Amino acid sequence: MADTDRKVMLELDDVSISFHTSKGTFDRGLHQVLRSVSFKLYENETLGIIGRNGVGKTTMLRIMAGILAPSSGRVIKHPGKAASLLTIGLGHKGDLSGRDNALLSAMLQGASKKEALGYLEDIKAFSELGDSFEEPVKTYSSGMKSRLGFTTALLTHVDVLLVDEILSVGDAEFRVKAEQAMKQRLSGEQTVVFVSHSDKQVSELCSRVIWIDKGRIAAAGDPDEVLEKYQESIRAAKRKKKA
Amino acid sequence: MTLSKYFGLVDVQARMLLKADSAKYKLGILWWFLEPLLWVTVFYIVFNMILDSGRRSGDFIVFLATGKFAFIWFSKTVIQASGSIVSSEGLIGKIDTPKSLFPMSAIQQSLYRQSTVYIVLVFFLMLGGIMPDKAWVWMVPVLVVFYLMIVACGLIGACLVCILRDFQKIIPLFMTFLMFTSGLFWDPHQIASPAKTELLFTVNPLAFILDAHRQVLLYNTAPDLFHLVTIGLGSVVLVCLALLYMRRYSQYLALRVLT
C-alpha cells in the first residue's frame, strides 16, 4: 500500500526541543535534544525507533504522548485519537498492595474506577503473582514489580501505543509470555511506536524503522536496511576509538 | 479526561495515600486521633501545669486548640499540595495527565483526615464544658470557605514549586509567619485599636477564618457573613485561575518537573 493511501495517526513536523540545564547557581546551559525531526505515523503500523543512549528517543515518545511540547515545530494528531506511553510501574507505591497499585495505574491510564476494578482479576492472573498480589509492593522482587507493571500497562487500551524498552521484563519464562502478548497486540489493529535496543525484536516486530542520532533522523525505512546502517555506524565508531 | 473520571481518580488517589500512610506506622489509622490528642496534651502541660494563670487557663486551652486544629489543616495541606507535583516526577514523565490531579489528591487526602480532627475537637470542647449549639450550623459555610481557600493556596503553591523549586523552602517559612500573624496564640479582638483588628482580618484571611471558628464554636455567634462570602468568592476566582493555568501550561509544567 502506498503511503499516501494510509491514514496518518500522528505527524511530527520539523520538531525541535531543547532544555535549560542548570549547572550551578545562576549558571545555565541549553541542551538541544531533538533537531528538526519530521515523520508520519500511519494507522496500524509498527514503527521502530533505534539509536544509542541519550539521543532523544524517550523525549520523542514524550512529545508524541503529549507530555512535553516541542520548542518549535508542530505535532499533528488525528482528531479523537489518543496516544499513550505504555509504561512499566506507574509510580508504584511500596506501602500499597499489588492490587491497589494496579487499580491506581489503570485509572491513571484513563480507565474509570468500574473498568479498572474489572481488569484486576485479569491482571492478577496474567502477572502470575498469586497471593503476592495482595501483599505490599515493597516486598516484591524487581522481577515481580515489572511483571505487575507490564501486565497493568498491557491490559489498558489506547489508539496509539508508545512502547519504551518494555520487553526486558521478568525472568526468561515471563519474557517469552510478555513478548507473545505484545506480538498479539501488534498483529491486531493497533498503531505502535516501539523503542528498543534489541535488533532481533525490532526486525521481528516492526514494519518500519527510524534511526535517531544526535537528535536528528539518520535513516528511515525498511527495518533490515536501517538496522544494517545503524550497526555499520557503531562498528565505525568502535574502529575510530581503537585507532 | 471527563469530570467524573477526574474526581474518581482524585478520590481513589487520596484514599490510597491515606492507606499507604497508615500502613507505614504501627498504630496506623489511630494516628489520626492521636495526633490532635497529643497537641491538646502539650497545651495542657504548657498552659495549665507550667504557666498556670489561675481560672482562665482552661478557657485558653480551648481557645488555642480551636485555632490550632484549624491552622494545622491549612498549613499541612498547603505544604503537602505544593510539593505534590514535583514529587510525582516519575508519573509525570510517563503520562499526560492533568497536573492539578496531584495537589487535588493531596488536598482531598487531608480533607478525609481532618474530619477526625474536628471530631476530636468537638469532644474536647464538650470536655471543656462547651456543648453543641444551634449556632454551630454556621460552621458549615465557614468550613466550605476554608476548604476553598485551602484549595486555592494548594494549587497556587504547587504551580510555584514547579516553576521554581526554591518555593519549597519558602512556603514552610511562610506558614510559620502565618502561625504568628493569624491570632493563633492571641485574640485579634484584644488588639488595642479595632481598626488594626479590622486591617488584620482584611489582609490575612486566615486570621479571619480562625476567628470565625472561635466565634461560632466558643461564643455561638455568627461570623461576619459579608467578609466570609468575599473570601469564598476570592478563593473560587483563584482556584479557577490556577486550574486554567495548569491546563494551559501543562506541558511547560511537565518540562519544569522533568529537567
Can you tell me the distance from the alpha carbon of B138 to that of B233, in angstroms, rounded to the nearest whole number? Answer: 17
Instruction: Quickly count: other Cβ atoms within 10 Å of residue A80's Cβ.
Output: 6
Among A38, A147, A130, A168, which residue's Cα sits nearest to residue A92? A147
Determine which of A153-157, A211-215, B4-8, B149-153 has the lowest per-residue pLDDT on average. A153-157
Q: Among A14-18, A180-184, B150-154, B250-254, which stretch is predicted with the lowest mean pLDDT?
A: A180-184
Tell me which residue in B1, B19, B96 faces A65 most closely, judged by beta carbons. B96
> Which of A64-73, A140-149, B7-16 has the weakest average pLDDT?
A140-149
Nearest to A21 among B13, B94, B259 (CB): B259
Confidence of residue A1 (pLDDT cuts 50, 70, 90): very low
Longest C-alpha distance within chain A, in Å? 62
For B114-162, write each residue's pLDDT tens digit. Answer: 999 999 899 989 988 899 999 999 999 999 999 999 999 999 999 999 9
* Contact at CB, A104 and B88, closer than 8 angstroms: no
Instruction: Verify whether the Cβ–Cβ distance A67 to B251 is below 8 Å.
Output: yes
Q: What is the pLDDT of residue B55?
A: 54
* Residue that has been written with the C-alpha cell 498549613 in this structure: B75
pLDDT digits (tens, 9 = 90+) for A11-24: 999 999 988 876 66
For range A175-187, the mean pLDDT? 79
CA distance A146 to A175: 10
Residues of A in contact with B258 (CB under 8 A): 68
For residue B201, the model assigns a pLDDT of 94
Q: Give the list of residues 6+ apart from residue B217 with CB closer than 8 angstroms, or none.
A: B66, B121, B125, B130, B136, B139
Q: Is this model's pTM higher than 0.80 or not?
A: yes
User: Taking 60 as the threshold, does the pLDDT of residue A2 lie above it?
Assistant: no
CA distance B47 to chain A (A): 39
Assess contact for A30 and A210: CB atoms under 8 A.
no
The residue ranking higher by pLDDT, B87 or A87, is B87
Residue B53 has pLDDT above 90, yes or no: no
Nearest CA in chain A to B92: A67
ipTM over 0.90: no
